[in-house]
Amino acid sequence: MMVEAIIFDMDGLMLDTENVAIVCWQKAGEQFGYTITRELMLQAIGRTVTDTKKLLLNHFGEDFPYEEARKVRAGHTKDYIETKGIDTKEGLMDLLIYCQNEGIPIAVATSTHRHHAESLLEKAGIKSYFNHIICGDDVSNGKPAPDIFLLASKTLGINIDQCIILEDSENGILAASRAGAIPIWVPDLIIESNIAKQHAQYICDSLVDAKHLIEHLRE
């Protein structure tokens, strides 16, 4: 199999941030008198800001103060990160160093907006490893549309069918499959998903396993 590049999702795949995001959304909801359940926010994983807004407005109605709640959620997230830092996923650094040593072009393709994504990657100490960073505000259609991955492969200068895409979310795996890439599912909060199982070409329990798989695919 020709593997010429690797495209990484960010939240939940490289950074252990999805649980933090859910808790902070719940705190923000409480401040405005809304109960934001974990089950609801699991549906937001992999979505852009715009699509998350649609999800919450569809659930709570047009009166839900999304922009205000999002600012409060962002404040809680900032406080958490400044206090406790950002944990990276097991095996991430070994995989990034492997890509660096092997000269494999790599990119980030995240639904998160650029200012926040670059800040998180910088704080986690991994931003410099990536050739390119593609963010949710770089495309019109977020995951599960394939746009962000097609843009990432174009920016890398590698055909999409020669790109491995590492994803933890259903929306991300759907987008990778629709793009025509090689989707590898590394589950995070959602560990049972018929959609991800159906559309992923490979499934790995962790980035440690993903590195071993990538080494094998490139032999």
In the block, tokens 């852009």 appear at 48
Contact 38, 5 (CB under 8 A): no
Contact 158, 4 (CB under 8 A): yes
pLDDT for 111 equals 94
Contact 12, 191 (CB under 8 A): no
Would the pLDDT of 1 be above 90?
A: no
pLDDT for 11 equals 95
CA distances from 176 to 27, 94, 132, 200 (A): 32, 23, 17, 8
pLDDT in tens, 51-76: 999 999 999 999 999 999 999 999 99
Q: Which CATH superfamily is domain 5-16+87-217 in?
A: HAD superfamily/HAD-like (3.40.50.1000)
Would the pLDDT of 153 be above 90?
A: yes
Average pLDDT estimate for 3-9:
97
Q: In the chain, where does the domain assigned CATH 1.10.150 lie?
A: 18-84
pLDDT for 48 equals 83
For domain 18-84, the CATH class is mainly alpha
The structure's pTM equals: 0.89
Contact 45, 22 (CB under 8 A): no
State percent of the chain over pLDDT 90: 87
State percent of the chain over pLDDT 70: 100
Q: In the chain, where does the domain assigned CATH 3.40.50.1000 lie?
A: 5-16+87-217
Average pLDDT estimate for 73-97:
93
